[in-house]
Amino acid sequence: MGTAEATRSLADLNPTVVFVLGGPGSGKGTQCANIVQHFGFTHLSAGDLLRAERNSGSENGTMISNMIKEGQIVPAEVTIKLLERAMLESGNDKFLIDGFPRNEENRAAFEAVTKIVPSFVLFFDCSEEEMEMRLLSRNQGREDDNVETIRKRFKVDAGRPIEEVFESVKGIFSPKNEKAD
Ligand SMILES: Nc1ncnc2c1ncn2[C@@H]1O[C@H](COP(=O)(O)OP(=O)(O)OP(=O)(O)O)[C@@H](O)[C@H]1O
Ligand SMILES: O=c1ccn([C@@H]2O[C@H](COP(=O)(O)O)[C@@H](O)[C@H]2O)c(=O)[nH]1
Ligand SMILES: [Mg+2]
């Protein structure tokens, strides 16, 4: 199904969407499973959809694999297509979108393409120390559950020089917020 057709059908569905965010290992997937049981939502983990796409032998497989190994963000259009397809295939109209959007560009692209405005954002706050401990004992065979990749996945490493930290901080703010010279 093409994006335009998928978008028309999604608009007809007028779904309820909640973005579930938080650092790696903060417990998004764990709590989403509870919400599914109690409230009848469909849980869509962007990371799980990307891993399934990589494993399917898709033309984007190598790119997705490399991005996941490096803790980098896959281009929004790839992830959004996977989310659209999963929403339409689910037969439900209530979704927990876990681990997406990763940044302001992801959020804007999702809203522009799907015309869906999320009902709210559920954010799980957890210390990096606790998240790292949980990920290292998760035992689900994920190749990014290792110290090197985990530290790349933590968003802003403030232990680096001022200019480098600010490069990361800038990425959190949308370009439209940037002060003109
Ligand atoms: N509140 C908690 N206390 C202790 N352990 C927890 C808690 N919540 C989740 N865990 C455990 O921490 C690990 C990571 O949880 P989970 O997979 O839900 O995190 P996540 O936010 O989805 O991570 P990722 O972004 O890497 O997919 C799992 O082994 C889970 O059982
Ligand atoms: O919207 C997304 C979500 C995930 N990724 C990539 O996948 C890994 C793992 O994500 P989890 O949410 O921890 O399962 C993440 O580090 C990214 O590399 C993405 O690119 N875009
Ligand atoms: Mg998860």
User: Which of 26, 23, 19, 69 is CA-nearest to residue 44?
Assistant: 19
> Which ligand number lies closest to the CA of residue 106?
2
ipTM (interface predicted TM): 0.98
- Give me the residue label for tokens 């997406």: 100
Q: How far is the CA of 133 from the centre of ligand 1 (A)?
A: 10
pTM above 0.90, yes or no: no
Positive/negative CA dihedral, 73, 149, 62, 142: negative
Of residues 181 and 33, more confidently modeled: 33
Nearest CA to ligand 2 atom 19: 73
The token pair that represents 67 in the structure block? 């991005």
Residue with CA nearest ligand 1 atom 15: 27
Q: Tens of pLDDT along 130-169?
A: 999 999 999 999 999 999 999 888 866 456 667 776 676 5
C-beta of residue 10 within 8 angstroms of C-beta of residue 88: yes
Closest ligand to 26 CA? 1
Can you give the pLDDT at residue 174? 47
Spell out the residues 6+ positions from residue 50 whose beta carbon is closer than 8 angstroms to its own: 64, 68, 74, 78, 79, 82
- Lining ligand 1 with CB less than 6 A are 22, 24-30, 47, 99, 134, 138
pLDDT class of 103 with cuts at 50, 70, 90: confident
Contact 115, 6 (CB under 8 A): no
